[in-house]
Amino acid sequence: MTTRLKAACCAACLVLGSAARAQSDPEQKLPLWEIGVGGVALSTPSYPGAGQHETRVLVFPNIVYRGRVLRADRSGIAARLFRSDRVELDVGFAGALPSDSDDVDERQGMPDLGPLAEFGPRLKVKLADFGDHRSLRAELPLRAVIEARGGLHHRGTTFEPRLTYEIAGPQGLWSLEAMGSVVLGDRKINRHFYEVAPQFATSARPAYAADAGLVLSRLGLFGTRRVNQDLRVFGYLRYESYRGTANRASPLHVKDSGVSGGVGVLWTFKRSAARARGGESL
């Protein structure tokens, strides 16, 4: 998913898995589940190529589940289909918040962007293990996008090949991830964000038919720091480039780059006595 909608939800989801992996120790079994609460303040472009930023403060449940098949972590909820030392395949869900077009100058008078959900397979491959809790992995998620606004509507498909370098401190005291990805969308999802139908055209916003192709290129950093057993702080910074994208000519495309970031806290107040036996995610 490509807009601030995903940034708002996934900033929260990102914490869950990264904090969980930062706690991992090959000599120690982790709790089967953990429950808590978190909060994050973030600022992000209204959508890729928008001329405006929006700021949000979110409070979200912190739920981690490490089952053999069912997993709940930074990527949402997923059913693991296959796992080896270097390869993992799952089918997962992820969600995103709605966007009010009246809050975005370029979309004034156009339909709102409703809540979105993603569903589909994801292949994860560990490319290298450098020791000392340092690794490089590739992720290949292919997701159908569903909008929940006046019913359920299929809004297209996205593909986001991603490389992630991860390093963790001793005993999970801290963790840092650096990642790079590109987001590709079919014509349907690009129409959802960039098309201007004739009835919404104005003198400053001509009609436009969107094409399939590149949506954005992305570089990001994400880090966590453990304050004590139950409390963590985290932050992220993300740069996105919209140069050379398939719909740069859209009147809804105003800027060629965007920066988002956020800081927050994660508190765990309950964890199971039972230990996970399914192995950590890659």
User: pLDDT for 163-221, tens place per residue?
Assistant: 999 999 887 789 999 999 999 999 999 999 899 999 999 999 999 999 999 999 999 99
In a domain, 191, yes or no: yes
In a domain, 277, yes or no: no
Q: What is the dihedral angle through the alpha carbons of 93, 185, 260, 111, rounded to the nearest 10 degrees? A: -90
Residue 2: band (very low, low, confident or very high) from pLDDT cuts 50, 70, 90: very low
In a domain, 224, yes or no: yes
Provide the domain count of the chain.
1
Q: Residue 215's closest CA among 191, 251, 179?
A: 191
In a domain, 66, yes or no: yes
Instruction: Please check the confidence at residue 279 and state whether its pLDDT lies above 90.
Output: no
19 and 209 Cβ atoms separated by less than 8 Å: no
CATH code at 77? 2.40.128
Q: What is the reported pLDDT for 54?
A: 79
Q: Residue 145's closest CA among 101, 90, 188?
A: 188
DSSP reduced 3-state for 1: coil
- Beta bridge partners, 132, equal none
Q: Residue for token digits 């606004």?
A: 149
**Lowest-confidence region among 24-28, 101-105, 132-136, 143-147:** 24-28
In a domain, 282, yes or no: no
Q: Which domain holds residue 19?
A: 4-271
Q: Residue for token digits 């403060």?
A: 57
Q: What is the reported pLDDT for 73?
A: 64
What is the pLDDT averaged over residues 92-107? 79
Task: Look up the pTM and report it.
Answer: 0.84
Q: In this structure, are strands 152-159 and 134-148 parallel, antiparallel, or unpaired?
A: antiparallel
What is the pLDDT averaged over residues 130-137? 93
Instruction: Please check the confidence at residue 84 and state whether its pLDDT lies above 60.
Output: yes
Mean pLDDT of the chain: 85
* Percent of the chain topping pLDDT 70: 86
Instruction: Please check the confidence at residue 22 and state whether its pLDDT lies above 80.
Output: no
Q: What is the DSSP string of 130-162?
A: EETTEEEEEEEEEEEEEEESSSEEEEEEEE--E
In a domain, 249, yes or no: yes
Q: Count Cβ atoms below 10 Å from residue 200 Cβ, excluding itself.
A: 16
